[in-house]
Amino acid sequence: MNLSVQIDIVEVTTENLLADTTSGRTDRTVVVGGHLDSVAEGPGINDNGSGTAAILETALQMAELGIDPENRVRFAFWSGEEDGLIGSSHYVEQLSAREIKEHALNLNFDMIGSPNSVNFVYDGDGDAFGAAGPNGSALIEGVFTDFFASQGQSSDPTEFDGRSDYFGFIEAGIPAGGLFTGAEGIKSVEQAARYGGTAGIAYDPCYHAACDGIANVSAGALDIMSDAVAHSTLTFAETESAVNGTGKGKAKGQFDPQFKGSNAVK
């Protein structure tokens, strides 16, 4: 068999955008991030205009309210996620071992307004899917599940599989957690009973498609998720305890991620 392939490889320069609070302990930096890029096929308003908008609004409200956090908060708008977690991987790769120790945790918000949503929380303790994050990730998961319970809302664990920008952080031993309202997965009858929406179709039928525009975002999902973003950011901005406990992870400052598309395979 002969196979001929024509391919154009275009190199582009792209940048992460980081904004730090001007006060707070720098040795317990809390990185609150989401990816700003989208796939080429569509505008990416749920994936991930939703996450970045909630992060931006949280930052603006903290400034407006004059909040002087105990720990520095670094708001991160990652580039190149859809091309293989490039921006966030670069960020972690360039940290020294000491700087890695000065990162308390990473919160990641990637898709939080899916039209047929479920309140998914990353399974940081691994009790649902087996893959646990670094020491501290279970505590982060608990902050989210407690928040949803306090609001009379259901929540479900989602696999901590490295499929978004927290991957570089957990590879470096930094605990992480975050939220997700679902992508190409199919809503079950049981989930539709608890969350509403439609069983048997995707959480986001416009995932990575041209129709991921403004009309693709559920205002109700974005509302409760934005509250969870603000609650978790403030919780970790103000905590006086170390999130990562005694286990500091590998803290090598170097890792070698491998991807299939944007799915981490190692």
Q: Provide the binding-site residues for Zn ion, judged by CB under 5 A.
A: 47-48, 110
Query: Least distance in Å: CB of 257 to Zn ion?
Result: 16
Nearer to Zn ion, 110 or 171 (CB): 110
Nearer to Zn ion, 124 or 182 (CB): 182
Q: Is 138 helix (H, G, I), strand (E, B) or coil?
A: helix
Query: Least distance in Å: CB of 131 to Zn ion?
Result: 19
- Tokens 């539709």 belong to residue: 192
Report d(CA 162, CA 261) in Å as an integer: 12
Beta-bridge partner residues of 75: 19, 32
Task: Give which of 110, 3, 1, 93 is closest to 53, Cα–Cα.
Answer: 110
Question: Between vectors from CA 108 to CA 247 and to CA 260, what angle results, nearest 5°?
Answer: 95
Nearer to Zn ion, 29 or 226 (CB): 226
Nearer to Zn ion, 69 or 182 (CB): 182
How far, in Å, are 118, 123, 247 from residue 242 at the CA level?
30, 20, 11
Query: Least distance in Å: CB of 39 to Zn ion?
Result: 9
Query: Least distance in Å: CB of 247 to Zn ion?
Result: 29
Active site residue 15: no
Residue among 64, 81, 99, 171 flagged as catalytic: 81
Report d(CA 57, CA 140) in Å as an integer: 21
* Phi, psi (deg, nearest 5) at residue 176: -150, 165
Residue positions annotated with a catalytic role:
81
